[in-house]
Copies of this chain bind each other. A is one copy, B any other.
Amino acid sequence: MRTLEHPSRGEMRLDTVLAALADPVRRTVACKLNDAFGDHACATFELPVSKSTATYHFRTLREAGVIRQEYEGTKIMNTLRKDDLDARFPGLLDAVFAAQKIEGAGA
């Protein structure tokens, strides 16, 4: 059974979380996880980058503490660590997601 390293709540660093969310590809992933219920395999995201680049972005998000990744067979299921992030940095995630929607909609 393969497992992946995740930072604990206390280990999450604001630097790292903001840098993770500053990249458009990674923010797209986080936003999709926030909008949709349940878990989602990496392959279901249709990102505009190659598979190995996608791996890199998923790892960056995981190491920042933004997402949780768990093996399920050959797939990796991704979930947003909303509870943990809300506990650590209250309101941050919601503000970023709201901002993303604003920018996506208007000018």
Residues A90 and B96 in contact, CB atoms below 8 Å apart? no
Is A13 engaged at the interface, CB distance under 8 Å to the other chain?
Answer: yes
Give the bracket for the number of chain A residues in contact with chain B.
20 to 34
Of residues 60 through 107 on chain A, the ones whose CB sits less than 8 Å from some CB of chain B are 88-92, 94-96, 98-100, 102-103, 106-107
Residues of B within 8 A of A10 (CB): 106-107
Residues of B within 8 A of A24 (CB): 15
Residues A99 and B14 in contact, CB atoms below 8 Å apart? yes
- Given A18-B18, A22-B22, is A95 in contact with B102 using a C-beta cutoff of 8 Å? no
Report the 8 A-B pairs with minimum CB-CB distance, sorted nearest first. Answer: A18-B22, A89-B99, A91-B95, A92-B95, A10-B107, A19-B22, A95-B95, A14-B99
Interface residues of A (CB under 8 A from B): 10, 13-15, 18-19, 21-24, 27, 88-92, 94-96, 98-100, 102-103, 106-107
The contact sample of 24 A-B pairs, CB cut-off 8 A, is A10-B106, A14-B27, A14-B99, A14-B103, A15-B23, A15-B24, A18-B18, A18-B22, A18-B96, A19-B22, A22-B22, A88-B102, A89-B98, A89-B99, A89-B102, A90-B95, A91-B94, A91-B95, A92-B95, A92-B96, A92-B98, A92-B99, A94-B95, A95-B95
